[in-house]
Amino acid sequence: MPELSYLEAIRQALWQEMKRDERVFLLGEDIGRYGGAFGLTHGMLDEFGEERVRETPISEATIVATAIGASLLGMRPVAEIMFMDFILLALDQMVNQAAKMHFMFGGRTSVPMVVRMPGGSGSGAASQHSQSLESVLMHFPGLIVINPSTPYDAKGLMLSAIRNPNPVCFVEHKILYKTKGEVPEDDYTIPIGVAEIKRPGRDITVVANNIMVIKTIHVAEKLSKEGIEVEVIDPRTLLPLDTKTIIDSVARTGRLLVVHEACQTGGWAGEVIASVVGSPAFDYIDAPVRRLGGKDIPIPYNRGLEMAAVPQEAEIEQEIRALVGGKI
């Protein structure tokens, strides 16, 4: 199977879907000749032309609004918000408009659009270009929030996102762009709202998203050599959240840790934990349930500070050891 990077996998999904469905078009800042701030749409202008790879002024609210308006007329827009942080400028359109239209209008219309947005820290981009705002977005019924961790998932989820009739926030992680993985050339989709057990294990369930999935798998492989078997679950979609897969897993392992880069306070880990402790899996819980989120600070610039602001492998390992060893 061909190896592609996470970035290439997303590009391939967009490319193939634009070939397949002429209603699909891209819009965003600098997505043409420049190829987007991360080069994701590189080459697409030449292939599809200015009409379908539509460069916009720096007007985030109107980029999202344009996607909304076009989707109401049957188009399938995929908008790029250069950095996830900038979605805050378009939050009215995303939340007050797109998320509510199907409901507010009594089910008589829908907003089939995708808004791509790279989030996450690790690139030295500092406080206004490094946030993980997925927990914020999952607070709004009507939105779908997708958050892939691998190239394979990224392509399959992107194809599902474009074909879905609802507004989708497709949250990418900028540090994952270069990670490689096997990605089939053909058309395949991954269902929205379905978590995946990335690694089975009997001793503890760790739920993590995007880059934290990769880190947790590293830790799990290491601990496996010592006989500690970690079950790693990637929700893949944060809204709607597949709590069933998580609850079933905790009922088996009896332990739960949730890891994410988003600031801990108000982060989605709280949602997962509340779902689990309020479920019948409660009877099987053998240890305190824990979360390991980003520190409650803006992301700092300095490399050391930046790394210290979000969970790293050493801390994930420490948490798992403590929980499995009965030390918490």
Partner 1 sequence: MSDDNGKGAEKDIGSREQFEEMVKRLELSDNSLIGLYRTMCTIRHFEYMADKLYAAGKVHGTMHLSAGQEAVAAGISQAVRPDDYLINHHRGHGHFIAKGADINMMMAEFLGKDTGYNHGRGGSMHIADFQSNNLGANGIVGGGIPQAVGVGLALKMQKRKEICICIFGDGAANEGVFHEAMNMAALWNLPVLYICENNKYGMSMDVEHAVAKLPIAQRADAYGIPWACVDGNDVVEVYEAMKTAADHVRAGKGPYFVETITYRYFGHSKSDRNLYRSKEEIEDWKRNRDPIMRFTKHLLQSEILDEGQAQEIDTQAEQVIVKAVEYAEASPEPDISTLMEYVYA
Q: Give the residue among 217, 253, 212, 271 at the shortest CA–CA distance from 236.
A: 212
Kindly indicate which of the ranges 57-65, 145-153, 275-283, 293-301 contains the residues binding partner 1, using the contact rule CB under 8 A.
57-65
Helices (H), the chain: 6-20, 44-52, 60-72, 91, 99-104, 134-137, 151-163, 210-224, 243-253, 268-277, 303-309, 313-324
Residue 129 annotated among the catalytic residues of the structure: yes
Of 2, 19, 33, 103, which lies in the binding site for partner 1, with binding defined by CB under 8 A? 103
> Whose Cβ is closer to partner 1: residue 102's or residue 252's?
102
Our finding on whether 72 is near partner 1 (CB under 8 A) is: yes
> Whose Cβ is closer to partner 1: residue 104's or residue 297's?
104
> Whose Cβ is closer to partner 1: residue 75's or residue 308's?
75
Instruction: Output the smallest distance, CB 189 to partner 1, in A.
Output: 17
Q: Per the residue annotation, which of 102, 129, 173, 218 is the catalytic one?
A: 129
Residue 300 DSSP code: P
Which two structure tokens, joined as six digits, stand for 240? 């709607």
Of 34, 105, 282, 301, which lies in the binding site for partner 1, with binding defined by CB under 8 A? 105
Q: Exposed, middle or buried, 265 (CB in 10 Å: 0-12/13-18/19+)? A: exposed
Our finding on whether 141 is near partner 1 (CB under 8 A) is: yes
Our finding on whether 88 is near partner 1 (CB under 8 A) is: no
* Alpha carbon separation from 78 to 14, 40, 68, 219, 226 (Å, rounded): 9, 13, 10, 35, 46
Instruction: Output the smallest distance, CB 90 to partner 1, in A.
Output: 9
The answer to whether residues 156 and 249 touch, using CB atoms and an 8 Å cutoff, is no
Our finding on whether 163 is near partner 1 (CB under 8 A) is: no
20-38 b/e (C-beta count within 10 Å ≥ 16 → b): eeebbbbbbbebbeebbbb
Kindly indicate which of the ranges 38-46, 59-67, 197-205, 292-300 contains the residues binding partner 1, using the contact rule CB under 8 A.
59-67
Kindly indicate which of the ranges 41-49, 73-81, 263-271, 301-309 contains the residues binding partner 1, using the contact rule CB under 8 A.
73-81
Cα–Cα distance between 134 and 111 in angstroms, integer? 20
Active site positions, annotated:
129
Q: Residue numbers of the site for partner 1 (CB under 8 A)?
A: 25, 51, 54, 56-57, 59, 61-62, 65-75, 77, 92-93, 96-97, 101-112, 141-142, 144, 165-166
